[in-house]
Every structure is written in structure tokens, then in C-alpha cells.
Amino acid sequence: MSHPHALDKPREECGVFAVRLPEPADVASLCHLGLFALQHRGQESCGICVSNGEELVIEKDMGLVAEVFTEARLDKLRLPGARVGLGHTRYATTGASLRFNAQPLTVRSNKGILALAHNGNFTNAGRIRREMLEAGAIFNTTNDSEVMLNLIARYSRLSLEDATARVMGELQGGFAVVLMDRDRILGLRDRNGVRPLVIGELGGGYVFASEPSALHVVGATFVRDVRPGELVVADSQGLHSRQVLTPNPTPCAFEWIYFARGDGALDGVDVHAARVRMGEVLAAEAPAEADVVVGVPESGLAAAVGFSRASGIPFDLGLYKSPYAGRTFINPTQRLRELKVRLKLATTSSVAGKRVVLVDDSIVRGTTSGRIVQLLRSAGATEVHFRVSSPPIKYPCYYGIDTAARKELAAATMTLEEIRERIGADSLRFISEGGLARAIGLASTCLACFDGRYHAGHPEDEETLRPVAPFDAVA
């Protein structure tokens, strides 16, 4: 489903966190802290599940982590003797934004009670769900994560580990999953490693999280990334792993462009350094005659620093982002939607009388980009040269990112010049796909939203999409 977004960005679906300790601890508070560090990955709902080996309790609801988990609610999760827990923070991409779709999801099975938290999308979940419904299965939610739980529960003669490994081979798409029973955590990634999952060590136990930031906040030491196609189990014997699927690594490029926090590394690539390199590549590919380089906070700042370093044009903080704006919802009038940008962003005096290079990480619809250009002009900028550290987004994502309907994607239906006119910039250039690949530095990444090549599988009920209009990213 498509959502309006305050600053017109693609939205990551989820953040996942899980912990398994050898001794009883306040697992609920560790999960709570971990979700705070992953809040940027999902702001619609969140949940925590905790077990002490006998009982298993879960609390989840719509809202931000701070809204949902009051001290009273956390107390309900503080089971005596608890050693295992997992948490989830969510944006809806498959399944509507409703309370019953909040995760972790739980199911009672012949393997006991299982809880699952999932980041990504299964591209063949629709067909599997229909087949299971026809066979009499019952679903409690509309999201695709429940399909995985049901499949695991079906393999009644297999152990939880073997059943999970079997299901990994049946599901397609981009996904990172943490799964728990009363005493273990299982963590896994799809064979392409589209969605991130890292492992940390804490007090002789182990932590799984979408990003290193969630390890650091609970005092865990980074161990490694879960490998594409790998199933890792943390139990009373420690940590052990199985390479279930033949890896074909194509991690999502948008993790380094925009989604991940800048204070960590994914698949061995430092996020902040990659963003700075994107700016340096942009300066080489798309130079501009200007007096100052300004980044759109927060996500465009690192690329703006790189553009400044490579071009020699001074960097300055030309836009101020209010830390108190909070979430902004659908507003009833166009005028209020325009004022929403002013609520979040304001200009500083550094742009007055200057030719400005404005650096941002993406343009989706172009509406917010246009408002930011207007803000700079109103503050006295004489020219605004827009530079984008991602290639043009022309295709929807099927692996857990909400990129808006294809007809709403500016680059799918408009030429470079038409987008430049829409946003009111003096010039507009995007980084090339090759330039982005060099900046990230991995052998291969998923660029499906730019080039339409879906390495991890295409939804079975969607026809292959082609660009509507010719578009040269570096023309």
C-alpha cells in the first residue's frame, strides 16, 4: 500500500531485534532499547515478546516505541527468569496498517508457541496463502509474515530448525527474520541478503538486529552479519549456523543511500563513508558552479559533505530540521500540506545571495523536493542546483520498501527536464547506477527500484514492469 510521507521518501518496512541470554535478565528492557535504536525503520506499530522457558508473553500496539511501551506495559513483560525476547517496529508494506498486523506474530503449534518478527516481503506469499486457505488453514492477519509461521507449523514431523530451513527454500523475496520459541532464537536472511541482519555478543549470549546501532545501545559487541541464505540459532549450546541456501548476494542499495543509520556498517560497508563517497561521485559526474553546498537533513548531509570535499565548494547547514515536529499525518488541504514542510524545515542565513548546490538522497514524487527548492529561493538563494545521491526511482520495490504506486514515481512518467521544471531547480542531476555501485563498493547490490531487475524474485501476480518514459540518469 502507498502512504503519504512527510518528506516524500521511500519507507523501510521494519526493524527486528532479538536476544538470547544464558542467565535471567531484564530482557524486556533490552528489547525496548533495541527498538528505540531501530525506530527510524518503522513508526506505525511495535511489539515485544519475552519468554522465561515456561511462560511467553507479548505486548504490541500501534504507535511509536515511546508511546506503546509505558513503564506499566514493560512491567507486564518482565517475567521472572526471562532469557529470550524479540521485538519489532513496523511500517506496513504488505498488510494494512492495523493493530492485528502488528508484530511479533505468535502461533501455537506442535513445536510450542512460536513468535516471529520479519523485515521484508515474500513475493510468493499470495499464492501460498491462497493454497493454504483452500486447504483449510486459518489466518489471523493480512500480512505475509503469517504465511511463514503457518508453513513452519505445517512440518510437524520436523524440528523447528529443520522446518525453518525447509521453508527458507520455499519462500521467495527479500527478507530477514527472527523467530523464537520458549528457549531459542533463530535468525535468517534470504539467499540474496536483500534485508540486513547482524549478530552481536552480550554477556555470553547473543543478539540479532537489523542494524549495528541496536547492538551498541544494549552494550553488545558486533560479531558479524548473518550471511545470505544462512540460518543461525542461538540456544543453550551457544551459536550455531547452517548455510541453507546457496548465497547470491544482492543487498538493497537503499540501505546505504537512506535507510540505515549512519553510525554502523552493513555487509562490511560503512554506511556514513558510503554516503560521503556518493557525494564525491556526484561532484565528479554532475559538477555545478556554486557558492555553497547544502544537504537536506538528515539523510542528505553526508552526501553533501562528500560533494563539498570533492568539488571544493564550501559546505554549510542551509536547512534546519526541527527535532520536535514529530509525525505529521494526512492533512485535509493542499495549503496545510505545504505548511507541513515549513514545520519540519527552515532555512538559515547561509543561503542568502548564494548559488546553492542542494543535495538529497532521493526524489520520489517530487512534491516535497519542490517545496524545499522554494524555501531556499524565499531565503534569497539566487540559484538552486539539485543533486541526488540515488539514481531515479522508476520501479516499485517488492522486498519491503514502500516506494509509492508506480504512476506516482516522478522518474517513471517524466523526463529529467520535466522533473526539473516540477521542482523548480536551475539544474537537476542524479548519480548514475555505476557511480552508486562504486560508492557502495560491493560486487553486486539490488538496484531493482532503479533498473527493474528483481534478483530476489518478482511477485507472481504482477506483470513485469517497464519504464514508461526514456530517462538518462546522467544526461
Residues in the annotated binding site: 252, 299, 360-361, 397, 446, 449
User: In the structure grid, which three cell numbers stand for residue 402, read together?
Assistant: 514502500
DSSP assigned state of 451? H
49 in catalytic set: no
Name the binding residues for Mg(2+).
299, 360-361
Q: How many CA atoms lie within 13 A of 147 on its CB side?
A: 24
Give every CB contact of residue 383 below 8 A, 6+ residues apart in sequence. Answer: 290, 355, 356, 426
* DSSP-based three-state secondary structure for 41: helix
Cα-Cα end-to-end distance for the chain:
32
Check 14, 31, 46, 49 and give the catalytic one: 14
Q: How many CA atoms lie within 13 A of 389 on its CB side?
A: 35
Q: Which residue has the cell 526514456?
A: 470
Burial of 409 (0-12, 13-18, 19+ CB in 10 A): buried
User: Residue 283: which of 268, 300, 264, 303 has the closest Cα?
Assistant: 303
How far, in Å, are 108, 124, 249 from residue 453 at the CA level? 38, 17, 14
Name the binding residues for [4Fe-4S] cluster.
252, 397, 446, 449
Residues with active-site annotation: 14
